[in-house]
Amino acid sequence: MNVQEVIARVEKIEALPTLPSILKKILSIIEDPKVSLQKITEFVTSDPTLTARILKMVNSPVYGFPGRISSVSHAMVILGLNAVKGLLLGVSVFELMQKSMIGLWEHSLSTAIFARIIATRKDMESPEEISIGGLLHDIGKVILTIAFKENYPKLIDSVQIKEGFLYEIEKEYFGITHSEIGGIVAKKWNFPLKLIEPIKYHHKPQLAEKFQKEAAIVHLSNILTLARGVGYSGEIFVPFVHPFAWELLNLNEKELLDIFREAEEPITTSGEIFLSDE
Ligand SMILES: [Fe+2]
Ligand SMILES: [Fe+2]
């Protein structure tokens, strides 16, 4: 299969019969460039599970907002349209993440936590939005699992044998990586560049064109998650932090330790966030 065929299949993901109908609906809402906060609020509040999940997430230690956010419309106002679209997607792919790779959800949540903490320390404008980038950074793996459910799991298993990084093995096999796939679908869903670039370049932040710092934060957060050993994302090694990202973020060893310390509580308390869905 050549790379064009891979991309074509990924781009028609919502036509696949295996995609749950609720997710199809969510994707069509996200994809609409003119969708309003009000329409998203109406959609979310019409679904009790989605409502519960959004409220659980915004009130969880992943986000650490002071005070309780008790309504979906309040959450929307605090987070803004793009973060809400991303969050909506994040909470609705929960089952698929669980199914495609046990531990990917925990890996994603932890990356979101680290990203929020680093972004806040670096005085970034919207730490929540960058954190959503962390939550969705490996979305390409979910897409590949849906689109290639016969081959992709085998590819993941081969990481153990080949002793390489998953994205290198993907490049060899598909001609494209999960991060590039994530970038393609994020663009298709009309996410802003600020969200597309950290997803697309989380393994190569030096290639980001406009949002290098955002990409560097998600890059580092993914590595810190692997170093801390939270969840599972198909990797057996902890990759190096790219010097470009390290320099751009300008962190020292003490700050890094502080970041680990600050992330510890949210990481240990948020893993089971949706297990008691009602
Ligand atoms: Fe990745
Ligand atoms: Fe990852």
**What are the angstrom distances between the C-alpha of 163 and each of 67, 160, 236?**
46, 5, 7
Q: How far is the CA of 48 from the centre of ligand 1 (A)?
A: 31
- Classified as helix, coil or strand, 158 is helix
What is the pLDDT at residue 276? 62
Amino acid letter for position 115: A
Q: How far is the CA of 137 from the centre of ligand 2 (A)?
A: 6
Q: How far is the CA of 87 from the centre of ligand 2 (A)?
A: 17
Q: How far is the CA of 244 from the centre of ligand 2 (A)?
A: 19
Closest C-alpha among 166, 79, 175, 97 to residue 136: 97
Ligand nearest to the CA of 167: 1
Ligand nearest to the CA of 202: 1
Q: What is the pTM (predicted TM-score) of this model?
A: 0.94
Q: How far is the CA of 16 from the centre of ligand 1 (A)?
A: 23
What is the pLDDT at residue 193? 94
Ligand nearest to the CA of 231: 2
Ligand nearest to the CA of 223: 2
Would you say the C-alpha torsion 239, 244, 249, 252 has a positive or negative sign?
A: positive
Number of residues that this document lists for the chain: 278
Whether the Cβ atoms of residue 226 and residue 108 lie closer than 8 Å to each other:
no
- Classified as helix, coil or strand, 212 is helix
What are the pLDDT tens digits along the chain (278 aa)? 799 999 999 998 888 777 888 888 999 999 898 999 899 999 999 999 899 999 999 999 898 787 789 999 999 888 888 888 999 999 988 888 888 788 999 999 999 999 999 999 999 998 999 999 999 999 999 999 989 988 999 999 999 888 899 999 999 999 999 999 999 999 998 889 999 999 999 999 999 999 999 999 999 999 999 999 999 999 999 999 999 999 999 999 999 999 999 999 999 988 777 766 55
Question: In the 8-state DSSP scheme, what is residue 224?
Answer: H
Give alpha helix (H) positions in 15-136.
21-31, 37-45, 48-59, 72-79, 81-92, 94-100, 104-121, 127-136
What is the pLDDT at residue 16? 79
Q: How far is the CA of 138 from the centre of ligand 1 (A)?
A: 5
**Integer Cα distance of 122 and 246 in angstroms:** 13
Token couple for 270: 């948020």
Q: How far is the CA of 36 from the centre of ligand 2 (A)?
A: 30
Q: How far is the CA of 213 from the centre of ligand 2 (A)?
A: 17
**What are the angstrom distances between the C-alpha of 87 and each of 26, 94, 122, 129?**
11, 11, 22, 9
Q: How far is the CA of 1 from the centre of ligand 2 (A)?
A: 25
Question: In the 8-state DSSP scheme, what is residue 242?
Answer: P
Q: How far is the CA of 278 from the centre of ligand 2 (A)?
A: 28
Question: In the 8-state DSSP scheme, what is residue 241?
Answer: P
Q: How far is the CA of 34 from the centre of ligand 2 (A)?
A: 31
Go through the domains of the chain in sequence order and give each one's CATH number: 3-270 (1.10.3210.10)
**Integer Cα distance of 205 and 80 in angstroms:** 25
Ligand nearest to the CA of 114: 2
Any residues with CB less than 8 A from the CB of 55 and at least 6 apart, and which? Answer: 69, 70, 71, 72, 75
Q: How far is the CA of 70 from the centre of ligand 1 (A)?
A: 33
Q: How large is the angle between the packed helices 81-92 and 21-31, nearest 10 degrees?
A: 160
Q: How far is the CA of 202 from the centre of ligand 1 (A)?
A: 6
Whether the Cβ atoms of residue 47 and residue 53 lie closer than 8 Å to each other:
no
**Integer Cα distance of 256 and 170 in angstroms:** 31
Q: How far is the CA of 178 from the centre of ligand 1 (A)?
A: 7
- Classified as helix, coil or strand, 97 is helix
Q: DSSP for 143-199, please give it.
A: HHHHHTTTTHHHHHHHHHHHTS-HHHHHHHHHSS-HHHHHHHHHHHTT--HHHHHHH
